[in-house]
Amino acid sequence: MKVTFPHMGYLYVPVRSLLNSLGVEVIVPPAISQETITLGTRYAPEFACLPLKVNIGNFLEAKELGADTILMAGGVGPCRFGYYSQVQREILSDLGIDLDMIILEPPQGQWRLLLRGLKRLTAKASPLAVYRAGALAWAKLKALDFMAKEMHPIQAREAVRGRTMRAWKEMVERIDDADNTKAVQEATQQGLALLRKIPLQTAKDTLKVGLVGEIYTILEPAVNLDIERSLGEMGVEVIRSVYLSDWVVTNLVLHTLHLRDDTEHYRLAAPYLNHFVGGHGLESISSTIEYARAGIDGVVHVAPLTCMPEIVAKSILPQVSMDEDIPVLTLMLDEHSAEAGIKTRLEAFCELLQARRNRQQTCHKRNCDVPAQCREGFTFEGISRN
């Protein structure tokens, strides 16, 4: 059995580690390129979500490299992810492509199906080996998420553009190469040392932008056209709302143990949306409110075109933006989106945020308490009266 799986950011690092440790041969698909996307869109239905199309491209490219089995997550809930894997299976079968599929259904779905999938993957491993494989993969995922969080403020302040991205690539390779949890810890420490060596601009008061939206679009740089890198290289600190290890703990562990607590998300979103709409639709709203109240300068909301939960969020966010006084830029992406266009919109958005911050600072400086009648003509609603 030669197993492949879809790309989603650095997910391939822990998944490859897990499968290799279980004695399963792994074919990691080539990194997502324009060719991958073109291949996927050629065979997927036009109005399918972009992640489904890109996954198809991943599977076809991995098949070329010798993969014979796909490992795919299943889903439950109102959005289309629940039937993704079945649609993908049909598309591949219509193309006459012989790829077996192991679908790992979520625990809140059918336990029997989840156990059947896990049994196929763990057939060659003892319980102790399964535990060790899980611990190593988890350590890698936690380390990568930790390093990504550490990287964002440094990238926004780096003195020489591109240094942080080079360090990041090196860190990912080191964590990928680690073959036990101690080696992962060492790689993490080495990664931190690399980041600390990066020269920073002095006294740089950077803009901070929250990144919210659909999980795949947030996590996969080839699909979001490298939004985090673009913002970082504009000197903007990214506050990402979704990290994979947090998602795993919340959705797979706490949810299964009936310990999941979404009270805060529901409380914040309640004036606009009071029920689950699938994916991260509700969290896009609650996180935007949270960022506004934490003094973050603005929010970038990303999603694939036709993503149902994020269309709901998109229709609500303009009202949230006005009520909470935080600028929001929504980017709905599809296979036709291009990096130059997205970068231009991000640059314009960040210029607006900077101008807004300058005005606020000006008013604070002059101790202005009636900004609506400001002699300088500043009429922006966001100016503080304090």
Q: Return residues touching ligand SF4 (CB under 6 A).
A: 49, 51, 79-81, 214, 216, 278-279, 304, 307-309
DSSP 127-185: HHHHHHHHHHHHHHHHHHHHHHHHHHHHHHHBSSTTHHHHHHHHHHHHHHH--SHHHHH
Run of H or E residues at 43: helix 34-43
CB of 273 to ligand SF4, least distance (A): 15
Shortest CA distance to 340 belongs to which of 348, 330, 352, 328?
A: 348
- Distance between CA atoms of 31 and 172, rounded to whole angstroms? 14
CB of 283 to ligand SF4, least distance (A): 11
Between CA 262 and CA 268, with CA 266 as vertex, the angle to 5 degrees is 120
Nearer to ligand SF4, 56 or 326 (CB): 56
- Distance between CA atoms of 153 and 157, rounded to whole angstroms? 7
Nearer to ligand SF4, 11 or 165 (CB): 11
CB of 136 to ligand SF4, least distance (A): 28
Nearer to ligand SF4, 120 or 255 (CB): 255
- Distance between CA atoms of 123 and 110, rounded to whole angstroms? 20
Q: CA-CA distances (angstroms) from residue 162 to 44, 155, 166, 240?
A: 36, 8, 6, 20
- Distance between CA atoms of 116 and 87, rounded to whole angstroms? 20
CB of 85 to ligand SF4, least distance (A): 11
Helix axes 50-64, 34-43, angle to 10 degrees: 110
Run of H or E residues at 26: strand 25-26
Q: Cα 223 vs. chain centroid, distance in angstroms?
A: 10
CB of 216 to ligand SF4, least distance (A): 6
Nearer to ligand SF4, 192 or 311 (CB): 311
CB of 310 to ligand SF4, least distance (A): 6
CB of 87 to ligand SF4, least distance (A): 10
Nearer to ligand SF4, 50 or 329 (CB): 50
Nearer to ligand SF4, 220 or 297 (CB): 220
CB of 228 to ligand SF4, least distance (A): 19
DSSP 293-321: HTT-SEEEEEEETT-HHHHHHHHHHHHHH
Nearer to ligand SF4, 297 or 310 (CB): 310
CB of 77 to ligand SF4, least distance (A): 8
Helix axes 127-157, 181-196, angle to 10 degrees: 0
- Distance between CA atoms of 208 and 239, rounded to whole angstroms? 7
Nearer to ligand SF4, 50 or 171 (CB): 50
- Distance between CA atoms of 162 and 73, rounded to whole angstroms? 34
Bridge partners for 237 per DSSP: 208
- Distance between CA atoms of 32 and 15, rounded to whole angstroms? 17
CB of 203 to ligand SF4, least distance (A): 41
Nearer to ligand SF4, 57 or 278 (CB): 278
Nearer to ligand SF4, 75 or 232 (CB): 75
DSSP state of 89: H
